[in-house]
Structure 1
Amino acid sequence: MQVQDLACSEQWNRVKKELRNELGDDVFSNWFGRVNHEETTGDAVRLSVPTRFLKNWIQSNYEKQLVGLWKREQGEINRIELTVRGALRPRQISTTQPPKAIAARRISGRPAPFGSPSQFGSTANTTAIPCLADMGEHAAADFLNGAGLNPKLTFDTFAEGASNSLACAAVRQMAVGHEGTLDMLFIHSTTGIGKTHLLQAAASEARKTGRQVAYLSAEFFMYHLVPALRTPAFPVLRQAMKSIDLLLVDDLQFLHGKQAQDEFGKTLEMLMEAPSQIIMAADRTPGELGTLSPRIQQRIETGQVVAIQATDYALRHDILRKRIASARRTHPGFSVPDDVTDYIARYVVASARDLEGALNRLFAHNQLTKQPVTMDLAEKTLHDLVRIGEPRSIKVEEIQQVVCKHFSVTKADLLSSCRARTLVRPRQIAMYIAKVVTGRSLPEIGRRFGNRDHTTVLHAVRKIEDMANKDKALAQEIELLKRLIHT
């Protein structure tokens, strides 16, 4: 059975690798970064996801692709079964039950879900809502804590380093409600670097001080809160919103579709009327999200936008140290030699989630086979996660330097507002190359080019892309510049 489990694990790793190649890093991280393989039985593969929203999105958009990739691994696979990890089975709440009986059916303060994705946009599922209204403001406040917290995600278990210290400090201050701290904080980073951990830690810390907290995910907005506001529960829910001290909204990038975005904007504006402090998180900057209305954008601009950068070696080593210590508390015999910890910290660099995945593999192998963790085992087990000898990270400043030298212009001219043709073309080429080879966001690139708006960068990227497709000489010149930058 152990051999079969390991074989399935290897197959899933190959499927994920193919998905990443076909979809690209950003799309893969958004939709498959939190998908786990549970089991393969007969003609079916069972995968699990953390939210019902992810389940429905993957089923609607990627199910056939997943089946095709799994068929390459096992020809008999014909279907993919997606389940929600830890999901509660929906129950009809009788309006005749007393409030105490309903409250007793909550698990960890979280009400059983009353809606479903198919009911989004309708008022068909209303049996729970009149009860919620009848129970009063306290029950409504509990409902607003709809996204459950993971008790392991606290400030004590968060590894702080140079790449996340600013975000961590800001969130800590807002969690305890220090006077004079920020009213609005927007955190963005790539997937798996700690945004959710920070938001959940803030929610747990704030609740310890007696503050009223609402921690909401984009999925909860779409499938629970918005439908609830279309029912008789609206007045009591709106009143409960006014009592919120700290509002936390996670995973804004998962809001898709114009209707969802419009509803989200209206609901969020309503929520923002009352709380003294708000923390939001997404995998991209506010300017790259189509879910924010001008009013919300303006509110964000009055606060602070903080990026969490990629983890460095020291932070990755600290994350591993904390996770190993946590594992040893329940399994004292588990140990990871220093050379293996160093190997993982140096070469598993994609995200903190991959670090945990690497450690989980070693832990599982140790527990199943009773063999000690060694460097040989790590190299064999983690080969698909390590990134040895990858190209170094390119800085925007290096691109500017090479482009300036090639076109015989100064950096000051490149960053200026001058619209002379001799400067516009090099500037647009430099912006284009910065987007292609660095992976930085459009607003970030704009800031590096004289604080230009992200739409200016987007125009430059599209223009050079179009010109290079028609002009072979220009395409060759751009390829030359790329080679010069990488040398």
Structure 2
Amino acid sequence: MSDRESSNDGISAEDQKRWERVRERLRAELGDAVYNSWFTRLELERLASETAHLTVPTKFLKSWVQSHYATRIKARVSGEFKGVERVIIDVRSSARKARARDSGSEKDSEATPILNVAEKTPAPFDAGMDSLNAAAPRRAPRTPGMRGESDSVMGSPLDRRLSFSTFLVGPSNQLAYAAACRVAEARPGETPMFNPLYAHAAVGLGKTHLLQALAHATNDNRRRAVYLTAERFMSGFVSSLNNQTSLAFKERLRAIDMLIIDDVQFLQGKSIQQEFCHTLNALIDAGRQVVVAADRPPSDLETLDERVLSRFKGGLCVDIGPLDESLRVKILQARIAAAQETQPGFHVPPDVISYVARTILTNGRDLEGAVNRLLAHVTLNGAPLTVETAETAIRDLVRTQEPRRVKIDDIQKLVASHYNISRADILSSRRTANVVRPRQIAMYLSKQLTLRSLPEIGRRFGGRDHTTVLHAVRKIEELVAKDKGLAEVIELLRRILSEQ
């Protein structure tokens, strides 16, 4: 803290020494890694009415410290500061604005907080969100013409645990991992090798972990990376429109070195998709890196603008596949080791680990849930783990095999093959009887077996209107009700599609 702040806040030199002892105690108890992640920017703001007022620069950091370390901090502060019974943690800018209002001084409310100069994380990208990356240092000075902090934009929070060092690699994700590492290792000013990099995977297979690891590594490499979920991008864009700062939003977004967008399948709205497309083009044309992740390949993102999809397809598309058994074992072992840090007596025999890895085939989150259930069994029941007890503990996580997700392309190919026509015939404008009926059946099955809307199905059938699809569905429903032979054919096609 500066001398000026100490004087204004009534923090004496002796109090400052006590605070430094509190910090050193926390570092000794928690270790350098935890301390450097969460406590280097925790400051003593003032002492008043048996209360120690501490501040941090972001709401995310405040929430995390309060949730995980409030009791420990209070104990250390009370031990050094006699008479202090309460500890309040606030966001630095908010605390100073409140003091400025109390004192009638506007100058103090604009003061930039003092930060640990040893931090190496690059200055964050402003982007209109409340939650901030916990690793980011102080916010850059306001750009002239901006309306205030509510208009500043910031990337989505990053989890320090999601790094390359904790990402477990197996055959199913090796290519995606190698591509992400190559992107992270690029030097400032170097032309990206894979641009955009597009990763797709089902839920819980590690794509968010990989993207956040890439953001951490890029920032550590002295380049500015911004990680945004699709929802954050949309809310930031809408906020900038409402506050008439859309130009500043665009300029700041296009000034970064790497843009990382997660869950792009949720990007909605024509104007938002257009702005995303312009941003994508501007970054790629300027030699900046773009990384995108979704739950499906670009060809299945039917609601996204064709120009956006074209850009995605022009880059490197990598798939993160289902976890093989050896990788599931690695994940279980890592989760068990993490649990043992707080529960040293927690022991899982190798045969139980093997059983869980063979039984839970879905994703990493279910494996983590299995470890939590095993831990609860050991700590609450006090009985040793066996395969039999593990079977009971994880019973709710053992799912029957999920039905295959049917694609419209598969329906079209199967129906065309069954009726001895080509898929191009189904998509064409031909209206001969031998084409119209199979086309209607394919549309009917698409409505029955997929989650696609009528307009989406129409677009996949040669750009037809949704009313055409609705007519086909109703027509086949009428025929099935009175034509037993057709009903049997459609049931056969349905069964083949579901079992392929």
Q: TM-score range by the shorter chain?
A: 0.5 to 0.7
Q: Which residue of 2 aligns with 1:278?
A: 290
Note closer, same or farther for the CA distance 1:182–1:373 as it changes in structure 2 (3 Å cut): same
Q: 1:170 aligns with which of 166, 179, 203?
A: 179
> Which structure has the greater CA radius of gyration?
2
TM-score, scaled to structure 2? 0.58
Note the C-alpha offset of 1:482: 3.7
Give a deviation string over 1:185-231, Cα, whole Å, max 9, x none. 22233322222111101111212222221111223223345534765
Task: Tell whether the 8 Å contact from 1:250 to 1:280 is kept in structure 2 after alignment.
Answer: yes
**Residue 132 (1) aligns with residue 152 (2):** no
Match of residue 161 from structure 2: 152
**Aligned partners of 1:90 and 1:113 also within 8 Å:** no
Partner residue of 1:14?
Answer: none
- Report the secondary structure of 1:133's partner residue: coil
SS of aligned partner of 2:373: helix
Q: Is residue 107 of structure 2 the alignment partner of residue 96 of structure 1?
A: yes
Q: 1:469 aligns to what?
A: 477
Alpha-carbon spacing, 1:428–1:469, altered in 2? closer, same or farther (3 Å) = closer
In structure 2, what residue type is equivalent to 1:382?
I
1:223 to 210, 235, 248: 235
Read off the aligned partner of 1:189 and give its amino acid letter.
A
Deviation at 1:114, TM superposition (A): 6.5
CA 1:456/1:286 → structure 2, altered by over 3 Å: closer, same or farther? same
What are the superposed Cα offsets for residues 42-87 of structure 1, whole Å, 9 maximum, x if unpaired? xxxxxxxxx99xxxxxxxxxxxxxxxxxxxxxxxxxxxxxxxxxx9
Which residue does the alignment assign to 1:196? 208
Q: Deviations over 1:252-307 (max 9, x none)?
A: 23344556556655665665564521011222444554774444333223213333
Post-superposition offset of 1:166: 3.0
Distance change >3 Å, CA 151–CA 116, structure 1 → 2: closer
Q: SS of the residue aligned with 2:226?
A: strand
Partner AA of 1:324 in structure 2: I
Query: Structure 2 CA distance, aligned partners of 1:234 and 1:484?
Result: 50
How much is the aligned-residue C-alpha RMSD, in angstroms? 5.2
Structure 1 pair 170/425, CA: closer, same or farther in 2 (3 Å)?
farther
What is the CA–CA distance in structure 2 between the aligned matches of 1:389 and 1:274, rounded to whole Å? 46
Counterparts in 2 of 1:35-184, with a 5 A limit? 91=94, 94=97, 96-97=107-108, 101-102=112-113, 132-133=142-143, 145-177=154-186, 181-184=193-196
Q: Distance in 2 between matches of 1:392 and 1:241?
A: 39
- Aligned: 1:347 with 2:359: yes
| 8 A Cα contact 1:153 1:200, kept in partner | yes
Aligned residues of 2:416 and 2:423 also touching (Cα < 8 A) = no
Q: 1:91 to 1:476 in 2, by over 3 A?
A: farther
Give, in whole Å, the separation in 2 of the partners of 1:274 and 1:369.
60
The residue type equivalent to 2:143 in the other structure is A
Residues 485 and 295 of structure 1: is their aligned pair in 2 closer, same or farther, counting only changes over 3 Å? closer
Distance 1:102 1:288, change over 3 A: farther
Q: State the Cα distance separating 1:348 from its structure 2 match.
A: 2.3
Query: Which among 300, 307, 324 is matched to residue 336 of structure 2?
Result: 324
Gaps of 5+ in 2: 1-58, 61-89, 98-105, 132-138
**Separation (CA, whole Å) in 2 of partners of 1:247 and 1:466:** 46
Q: 1:432·1:464 contact (CA, 8 Å) conserved in 2?
A: yes
Question: Does the 8 Å contact 1:91/1:113 carry over to 2?
Answer: no
Displacement after TM superposition at 1:404 (Å): 8.1
Which range moves more in the overlay, 262-271 or 199-208? 262-271
Q: Distance in 2 between matches of 1:349 and 1:230?
A: 46
Q: Match for 1:246 among 258, 271, 280?
A: 258
Rounded to whole Å, the distance in 2 between the matches of 1:216 and 1:200 is: 10
Which deviates more, 96-105 or 181-190?
96-105
Structure 2 contact 441–476 (Cα < 8 Å) conserved: no
TM-score w.r.t. length of structure 1: 0.59
- Unaligned runs of at least 5 residues, structure 1: 1-50, 53-86, 118-128, 447-452
Q: CA deviation at 1:398?
A: 9.9
Q: 1:323 Cα shift? A: 2.3
Distance in 1 between residues matched to 2:219 and 2:199, nearest whole Å: 21
> How many angstroms does 1:315 deviate by?
3.2
TM-superposed deviation, 1:332: 3.8
In the alignment, the residues of structure 2 paired with residue 414 and residue 311 of structure 1 have an alpha-carbon distance, to the nearest angstrom, of: 39
Deviation at 1:99, TM superposition (A): 6.0
**Residue 360 of structure 1: how far off its partner (Å):** 2.0
Give the stretch that moved more between structures: 360-369 or 195-204: 360-369
**Helix, strand or coil at the partner of 1:371:** coil
Number of residue-to-residue matches in the alignment: 379
Alpha carbons 1:130, 1:233 under 8 Å: kept = no
Identical amino acids, percent of aligned pairs? 36
Seen in structure 2, the aligned counterparts of structure 1 residues 220 and 295 have a Cα distance that, compared at 3 Å, is same
Aligned CA distance change for structure 1 residues 242 and 256 (closer, same or farther; 3 Å):
closer
Residues 382, 468 of structure 1: alpha-carbon distance in 2 compared, 3 angstrom cutoff: farther
1:205 aligns with 2:217: yes
Partner of 1:308: 320
- The Cα shift of 1:174 comes to 1.6
Q: Aligned pair in 2 of structure 1 residues 148, 433: CA closer, same or farther (>3 Å)?
A: same
Alignment partners' CA distance in 2, 1:206 and 1:417: 48
1:309 Cα deviation from its structure 2 partner: 3.1
- C-alpha distance in 2, partners of 1:164/1:253? 20
Question: Do 1:186 and 1:279's aligned partners in 2 also have CA atoms closer than 8 Å?
Answer: yes
Q: Which moved more, 1:353-362 or 1:174-183?
A: 174-183
**In 1, Cα distance between equivalents of 2:271 and 2:411:** 40
Distance 2:153 2:294 in 1: 20
Structure 1 counterpart of 2:490, from 471, 478, 482: 478
Work out the CA distance in 2 between the residues paired with 1:239 and 1:392: 43
CA distance in 1, matches of 2:256, 2:377: 46
Residues of 1 paired with 2:327 and 2:471: CA distance?
A: 39
- 8 Å Cα contact 2:443-2:469 kept in structure 1: yes
The structural deviation recorded for 1:340 is: 2.5
Q: Distance in 2 between matches of 1:332 and 1:471?
A: 66
Q: Distance in 1 between matches of 2:409 and 2:280?
A: 38
Is the CA contact (8 Å cut-off) linking 2:237 and 2:272 kept in structure 1? no
